[in-house]
Structure 1
Amino acid sequence: MLDLGLEYQHVLVTGASGGIGIEIARVFMEQGAKVTVQYNKSVTALESFAQEQDSTRLHVAQADLSLESSVRSLFMSATSVLGPVHIAVINHGNYIDEDVMLKDMTLERWNASMDANLTSAFLVAREFLKGIEKSQKTENLSEVERERLDWSSIVFVGSTAGLFGEANHSDYAAAKSAVMYGLTLSLKNEIVKIAPRGRVNCVAPGWTHTPKKTEMLKDPDIVYRITATLPLKKIATTYDIAIQIALLSSTKVSGHVSGHVVDVAGGMEGRLLNMREKA
């Protein structure tokens, strides 16, 4: 296994109860990191995951990330159990399945998407940066811990919807695009005012095999439509996404990489590449 130099780093993973989130947590645990996994409503999958892990390095925490008070409580809980957070993987989000054109979209739906995908990301990133600043002022801070804080990192999880747009889901696409570009490119310049070697990057997954999509991806017509614009002609695994996030989080291999959006989507383009007869 490739050593990414993440041992003893405290990683917070939001939205960790989904397929990608659990895989992110698993990869960091395999690297020897300490991991706080956040969920909002359903903890079942995380309970099963936790049974397989070293309990001294894993903390499971509930939080509603749309609420300032809940986000503050999340970081207080994480810090009290595993120490200062060094890496924030802001993975959570919500995609509303119903197709609605912008002209027909209610303000309620628009605001719900912004709260779930953008405002909550702002709240988590803000609390993370505040936490670094506070930890830096701790008396008798060891040189090792100070170095870890100096190299703190944020990795946002966006979406190819934020890159190409998505008809009938402009709310989700707009929120993810704001995370991928507005937040990522701004915060890379701000984080270094607190953590001198701090970095901010983003991973943008395309279609990914997750438990929620298992039944859908049994339909060959759906798979064709997904892969028709992918030169690799395959759908990502959750590991494909998780390992890219770990690589960007790692000072050892990505210590001079900041402000980048890496799409993990098989080379997706906004044009048809593969005819049905050649799929």
Structure 2
Amino acid sequence: MDLGLKNVHVLVTGASGGIGIETVKLFLSLGADVTAHYNSNSTPIQNLRDDFLALQSVQADLSSESAVKDMFETLSGSHFGPVAVVVVNHGVWLPEDVPIVDMTTHQWDHTISANLTSSFLVCREYLRHLRAAFDSVKDKAAIVLIGSSAGKYGEANHGDYAISKSAMMYGMTMTLKSEIVRIAPKGRVNCIAPGWVATPMVQEALNDPGVSGPALAATPLKKLAMPLDIANQIAVLSSSVISGHVTGQVVFVEGGCVGDL
């Protein structure tokens, strides 16, 4: 089935990570023009550059307001044209177990800045540039945020992460879906909430049976998601052909998991 993404400019933030790089490859296979964002690690993206002419990369610290503004200025003037679809995929999950009672304000501020404030900045600048875009771009407009099942169920010893994702999944998604239509009448905003996904960011934690055991025990499908499982849902929600009447939704991709036992 044609998802209607051919030559649509898609920005994927955090594209060097496990979910990000699979999402980039999938959009490229669907004919999209893809900008892959990274902060410090460009290697996975560079490894694709020789194979895909419809791929460009951009570096930015998304917690910096000026860096996000500069990134969108650069992209709007690129040969791909203004961004039509943005996948807000970047974020941090600190592997150390720290309950809220022992959490420092430094850790809290770092996680909120990296996960939530940066997502606000990306969405805001995307919408500002969308205002000036042609109707052909506005007709394809979509934001796909990447939340987490932790945003619904919480996550002991990782409250900073869970809270940042909860705010994104509910407050941000639900507000933006009502605001984007003032700029792009067909614009849509949705969120995907993965459970545990076998990515490099959490692989060390998953190697601990004390982590992976309870997670699998609470998952009816008895398996962890792979990055492509998440990428497939991102592509579906990005498509105005498939999901043109879907907005303000949080789609859980967690094998039926209801939190850890």
Counterpart residue number, 1:72: 69
Which of structure 1's runs of 4+ aligned residues deviate more than 6 A? none
3-state SS of 1:254 partner: coil
TM-score, structure 1 normalization: 0.89
1:257 aligns to what? 246
Q: Within 5 A, what are the aligned runs for 1:41-80?
A: 41-53=40-52, 55=53, 57-80=54-77
One-letter amino acid of the structure 1 residue matched with residue 220 of structure 2: P
**What one-letter code is carried by the residue in structure 2 that aligns with 1:231?**
P
Q: Secondary structure at the match of 2:56?
A: strand
d(CA) in 2 for partners of 1:135 and 1:91?
A: 23
Alignment partner of 1:155 is 2:144: yes
- What amino acid sits opposite 2:132 in the alignment? K
Measure how far apart 1:169 and its partner are: 1.0
C-alpha change, 1:22 and 1:105, in structure 2 (3 Å) is same
- Shift in alpha-carbon separation, 1:168–1:202, aligned structure 2, 3 A: same
Corresponding residue pairs, total: 260
- Residues 4 and 268 (structure 1), Cα distance of their counterparts in 2 relative to 1, 3 Å cut: same
State how far apart, in whole Å, the 2-side matches of 1:195 and 1:207 are.
Answer: 34
In the alignment, the residues of structure 2 paired with residue 170 and residue 215 of structure 1 have an alpha-carbon distance, to the nearest angstrom, of 19
Q: Does 1:38 align with 2:27?
A: no
Please give the residue correspondences for 1:226-265 in structure 2 after superposition, counting only pairs within 5 Å. 226-265=215-254
Deviations 1:62-119 (A, max 9, x none): 0000011110111122222210110010000011111111121111111101100000
Judge conservation of contact 1:158–1:177 (CA < 8 Å) in 2: yes
Deviations 1:29-81 (A, max 9, x none): 0110000010001111111122332x2x1110000000111101111222222
Aligned pairs for 1:92-107 (under 5 A) are 92-107=90-105
Is the alpha carbon distance of 1:250 and 1:266 closer, same or farther for their aligned partners in structure 2, counting shifts above 3 Å?
A: same
Q: Distance in 2 between matches of 1:174 and 1:117?
A: 10
After TM superposition, list the pairs within 5 Å mapping 1:180-199 onto structure 2. 180-199=169-188
1:85 to 78, 83, 86: 83
| Distance change >3 Å, CA 91–CA 224, structure 1 → 2 | same
> Structure 2 regions of 5+ residues with no counterpart?
none
- Judged with a 3 Å threshold, the aligned counterparts in structure 2 of structure 1 residues 271 and 40 are, in CA distance, closer, same or farther, namely closer
1:100 and 1:183 map into 2 onto residues whose CA distance is: 26
Distance 1:214 1:118, change over 3 A: closer
| Identical pairs, percent | 51
Q: 1:210: how far off?
A: 1.8
1:206 matched to 2:195? The reply is: yes
- Partner amino acid, structure 1, of 2:13: T
Deviation at 1:147, TM superposition (A): 3.1
Residue 25 of structure 1 aligns to a residue whose secondary structure is: helix
> What is the aligned partner in structure 1 of residue 127 from structure 2?
129
Q: Does the 8 Å CA contact 1:15/1:21 hold for their aligned counterparts?
A: yes
> Matched residues in 2 for 1:242 and 1:110: separation?
28
* Counterparts of 2:121 and 2:171, CA distance in 1: 15
What is the distance in 1 between the residues matched to 2:188 and 2:115? Answer: 21
Cα distance in structure 1, aligned partners of 2:111 and 2:260: 27
Computing the radius of gyration over CA atoms, which structure comes out larger, 1 or 2? 1
Aligned 8 A contact 1:151 1:196 in 2: no
Normalised TM-score (structure 2): 0.95
Q: Structure 1: which 5+ runs fail to align?
A: 137-145, 273-279
SS of 2:120's equivalent in the other structure is: helix
**Contact between 2:95 and 2:205, CA under 8 Å: does it hold in 1?**
no
Cα distance in 1 between the residues matched to 2:152 and 2:70: 33
Which segment is superposed worse, 89-98 or 146-155? 146-155
**Root mean square deviation, CA, Å:** 1.5
